[in-house]
A and B are shown apart, each in its own frame.
Chain A
Amino acid sequence: MFDSSMIMAILPELMLLILALLVLVMELVWKNENGRKLGWLTAGGLLLVLVVSAFLGKPAEASDVFGGMIRYDSLGFIFKMLFVFGAMLTSLFMMDSEKLGQRGESYILLLVATIGMSFMATAGDLIMLYLAIETTSIPMYILAGFMRDDKKSTEAGLKYLLFGAMTSAIMLYGFSLIFGFTGSTSLTAITSFSLPLAVGVILLIAVGVGFKISLAPFHFWAPDVYEGAPTPISGFLSTASKAAGFAVIMRLFIGLFPSGEYAQMWTLTLAILASLSMTIGNVVALRQSNIKRMLAYSSIAHAGYALVGAVSLSELGVGSVTFYLIAYVMTNLAAFGIVAAFSRVTGSDEISDYAGMSRRNPGLALAMLVAFLSLTGMPPFGGFVAKVFVFAAAVEAGMIWLAIVGVLNSIVGVYYYLTVLKVVYLHRMEGENEAEHPIPLTRPYAIALTVLSVAILLVGVIFGPWFNAASSAALNLF
C-alpha cells in the first residue's frame, strides 16, 4: 500500500496543499487585515516547503509510484523545486500589488497552480498529465483576469481561458488517439507507433504544449495576456508555467519517441517552431513600447532558445534546457518583479516612462540591469551560460544551423534589451527632477529582487553545481 517513497514522492505537493488550506483558514481569521500577512505566510510557507523538500524529498533513483501515475526522479524533483521557488517569489511580488495581494484567494490559487505544475513535471501517465495541466491552467486563468475592474485584465483572463481550453482540448484528442491505438495511458509503457499515428500525435501534442510555452505559431495569446494580467502573475506565467510546459515536452516527446525516424520528425518540427519563435519573438519585440508586451515577446523568443536544447535530443540537450529554465525563471521573474515595483508607484508600463529610473532608485535600476543583461545572454549572469550550453547542445547534435539562428536572434535581442537599459540610465524625466520622484521599494520587493539578483549572478558564475543538478535530471530520460 503506502510506503515512505510514495509519501516522499508527493511530499512537496502535500505540503503545498496543507499550506493552501492554512491560507484559506487564516484568511478567515485575519478577515479585516490586508492580505499582506497572508502573503508573508505564503512566502514563508513556500520557503519551508522548499527547504524541507530539498532535504527530504530528493529521489535516490528513478521510480514509478502510485501505480505509474507519478514518476519520482531527479528531473521532476528539480522542476518542482523550481516551481516552488518561483511561486515563493511571486507571492512576495503579489503582496503589495493592489487588489491582487489583498485577497487570500489569489495566494490559494497560486498554490494550487503550483501543485498542478508539480504534477505536470512528474506525471507518468497521460491522464495524470492532463489533470495536472488543467489543475495548473484553471487557477491561472482566474489569476490572469483577477482584476475584474480592469478591462485589459478581464480580456487577458478570457483570452487565456479560450486559447487554453481550445489547445488543451486538441492535446487531449492527441492523448485519446494514443490510448485508442495503444491501449495504454502510461508514458513508460507505450512503445509502438505507426506512422500516421505518430504524425498525428506529434502535431496535436505540439499544439497543446506549444500553447503552454508560448511557442510560435501558438503564441498569439501571450502578449495580450501578459500585458493585461497583473504583473506578478505575468511573471509567474512566463516562468514557472512555461517551465512546466517544458517538463511536459521532454517527458512526452523524449519518452514517447526517443529515437528513430519519429524522433527525427518531432525534433525537426520543434526545431522549426523554435526558430520561428525566436525570430518572431525578437523581431516583434523591437517594436514594442509597452514593457510588458516587450517582455512577452521576449519570453516567446526565450521559449525558442530553450527548445533548441530539447530538440538536440541528448543528455547535454536536456541538461542544458533544464539549466536554461533555472536561469530563465530567475531572470524573468526578476524582470517582471521590477516592472511590478515600478508600475505600483507610477502606474505606467510604457518604456518611455522608465526614463531616469536610475536616478529615482539606483538599486532598482541595478536589478534591472542584472535581469536584462541576463536576458541578453551576457556574462557574468546566468543567461550567458544558459545560452552557451543550449547552443552547444545544438552544435553537438550537428544542428549548426539552429545554433546560428539562435545566435543571430540573440544579437537582435541585444538591441531592445539594451535600449530599455539606455532609457533607464541615460534618459531623464521631463523637468529632470528625479530626486523628487523616487520609487520606493517595499520590503517584500526588496527581498525578492535581492534574492533574484544574487541568484542570477550565482548561477552565472558558479554554475557547476547547478549544471550538475540539471545534468542528473537529464540522465533520467536516457
Chain B
Amino acid sequence: MDFIYSHLLSVILFFPVLAAMILLFLPKDEVKLIRWTALITSLVPFVLTLVLWSRFDANGGAAFQFEENYVWYAAINSNFHIGVDGISLSMVLLTTLLTPLAILASFGITDKVKAYMMLFLFLEMGMLGVFMAMDLLIFFVFWEIGLVPMYFLINQWGSKNRDYASLKFMIYTMGGSLGLLLAIQLLGVLFGTYEISTIVAGWNDITGGTLMGMEAATVKTVAFWAFVVAFAIKVPVWPFHTWLPDAHTEAPTAGSMILAGVLLKLGAYGFIRLVLPLYPAESAHFAGWLAFLAVMAIVFGAFGAYGQDDFKRLVAYSSVNHMGFVLLGIAAAAKAYGTTNAHIAMNGAILQMFNHGLSAAGMFFLVGVIYERTHTRDLRRFGGLFPLIPVYGGIMIFTSMASLGLPGLNGFVSEFLVVRGAWSQLSGFTAAGMIGLLFTGAYILKGIKNVLHGPLNEEWAHGEHKLTDINTREIVVMVPLMALMLSLGIAPAWLLGVINNAVTALF
C-alpha cells in the first residue's frame, strides 16, 4: 500500500499499460469479458486520482506535489520527472474520469474489441504523461505517444472518410510537433538538461547577446513561434484547425469523446505550462495576435457550426468555438502578467478546459447514441424526436445548455471568468468574442431544434427504424458528466480553488 502512496503518479500513469497487458492475454472472442475488464481496470486510475485529490495540499501554491524523479536517458540528461500542481491535477482528473466513460460508451463496438480497448488504454497513458511531465523530453515523449493510438482508433473504427481524416490528423500534428522537437533539441543543447524548471529559469535569464551564432532575441522569437505552432495545431487555433472537423467526425464515438475531451486540452496545457513561462516577453508582445486568433476561432467556429448539416461536424466546430475561449483567456493572462485580471482570465481558461472536456464528451456521446440507432448524422433527417425519446431529449438539452453557457451550469462560470479577465486589456477582442457567443447560442439551438423539435419525422416513428430511448448504460455514461456540469455551475469552488492556488502563484 505504501508503495502505491509513495509512487501514486507512476501507478496512475502506468496502470493503463498494465491493464492493456492483461487484455492482451484474454481470448479475443470473449468480447464481454474484454469490455468489462477494460472498464474496471480503467476505473482504477480514476479512483487513485480521487485519492490523489484528497491528499493534495490545496494551499501548496506553485509547488509540484507527488514528485517522482528517476534517471531515464542519462546520456542526454533527461530524467523521468513527474509531478502535479493544481493545473495539472485538474487535467489528470479530467482524463481519468473521461476514459472509463469513453470505454463504457464503446460497449457498442463489436469489431476487434481487444485491440480497440488496448489502444484506448495506451492513449490514456500518453495523455496522463503529458500532464504529469516535469521534464521537457518526457513531455515530448508522451505527447507523441498519444498520437499513434488515436490514429489507429480513427483509421480502424471510424466512419466513411476515416483514411483521409486519420492520416491528416497524424501528419498535421507531427508536422506541428516538428517545430516543437527542434526547439526542444535547441533548449536541451543549450542547457544540458531537460528539467523544465531549470530551463525556464535559464532561458529567461538570456536577454541579450548571441545564441548559436544569431541574435538571442531572434532565436527566442523563432523558438516561441515553433512552440506556439505545435500547440496551436493541437488546441486547435484558427487557422490551424482544419484537421479537427474531419478527425472528430470520422472518429468512433468514444474516440471523439477523448479527442475533444482531453487531447485538445494537451495543446492548451502546453501553452500554459511551457509557452507562457518560457516566453513571457514574447507572449505579452504577441498577445494581441493570439487574442485575434482566439476570437477568429470563437466567431468562425460558431459560424461553422451553425452552417453544418452533419450533427457530429456541428459539435466538432463547437469545439473550435469553445477552445477559442481558452486561448482568449491565455492571451489575456499573457498580456497582463501578474495582475489579478491575468489570474482571473487564466482561471477561466483552465476551468473552461475542464468544462469543455465534460460538455464536448457529453455532446459527442449523445451524437453517437442517436447515430447508433439511426445510422445517420444528417440533421435534416431528424425532427420532432422529443416525444419518441424524451429522456434522451432531456439529457441533450441539459448538456447543450451547459455547452451554451447557461448560468447555473459550468459553461457560464468559465466563460464569464475569461471575459472578465480579458476585458480590460483586450477589450476589442473580447467584445468581438461576445458576438461570437451569440452565434454559439444560435448553433446550439439549431441543433436542438433540428433533432428534437419541429414536426415529427415519420421515418423514425414506426416500423424497423422506430427509435428506442436512451438505455441504462448510456445514461450511466452521461450521469457523471451531468452531475459535474451542475455542481461546477453552482459551486465551482472545489475545483476552482485548486486551480486558483496554482495560477496565482505562477502568473
Direct contact, A vs B (beta carbon within 8 Å): no
B residues within 8 Å of A by Cβ?
Answer: none
A residues within 8 Å of B by Cβ?
Answer: none
